[in-house]
Amino acid sequence: MKSNETTARGGIISLPAKWRFGKGRTIPMEKETWLVVGLGNPGTTYAHTRHNVGFDVTDILSRRWNAPLTKKKCKGELAEIAFEDKRVVLCQPQTFMNLSGECVAELLNWYKAPLEHLLIIYDDIDLPLSKLRVRKSGSAGTHNGMRSIVANVPGQNFPRIRVGVGAKPEGWDLADWVLSRYTTREEQDAMHEAFEAAADCVETWLRKGIDEAMQQYNHK
């Protein structure tokens, strides 16, 4: 194949060699960057807990896109890819949840991305288990990771995908609840479907914009 040809498979595009950097990745450097950030806590202690919804969804995207999160930059673990006509950065902050905004602010600054090109994925205890809610902007609510982001970036006008993890049961400490795992097969299956749907939603956002993503996924 000639160097100026492009091919596409599953939305991931192979671009000319002059745009190539990283491990087999091809990025159109003159394109604006889109940032997909999944919130969570690093380390095996927190893996697949309710608070790590964002990591679970970005793990799915990493596998779909054959884009391992091996690049360390901006206090996060990243993958840089070309998704159709967009330059996309997939990120899992390594700051721990309450300092997520430090990573996100550095990403915005490093990649010179406009705020509306930032998408955050995180857990929500106010939504029923596995329910999705997509918004183009809004407040941080009670989520400490989102509070950190809003405190560190210039405004609240960025889209987000909230994934329901269920309300705290009576008698539970909130921290213990969000750091707990899904205990039944029914819960695990429901959340796996939710993670896949959230990953689909990210791809819809990249292809068609936040309004289309809201229309398709807010009723599910």
Q: Are strands 71-73 and 33-38 parallel, antiparallel or unpaired?
A: unpaired
Catalytic residue among 51, 117, 143, 192: 51
Q: Give the containing element (helix H, strand E) for 124.
A: strand 118-124
Q: Please tell me what DSSP assigns to residue 183.
A: -
19 Ramachandran zone, left/alpha/beta (phi>0; psi -120 to 50): alpha
**Token pair listed for 51:** 């608070």
| C-beta separation of 124 from 167 below 8 A | no
Is 51 in the active site?
yes
Q: Please provide the size of the chain in residues.
A: 220
Within a 10 A sphere around the Cβ of 170, how many other Cβ atoms?
5
Among 160, 108, 104, CA closest to 136: 160
**Residue 31, amino acid:** K
Burial grade of 126 (CB within 10 A; 0-12, 13-18, 19 or more): middle
**Residues with catalytic roles:** 51
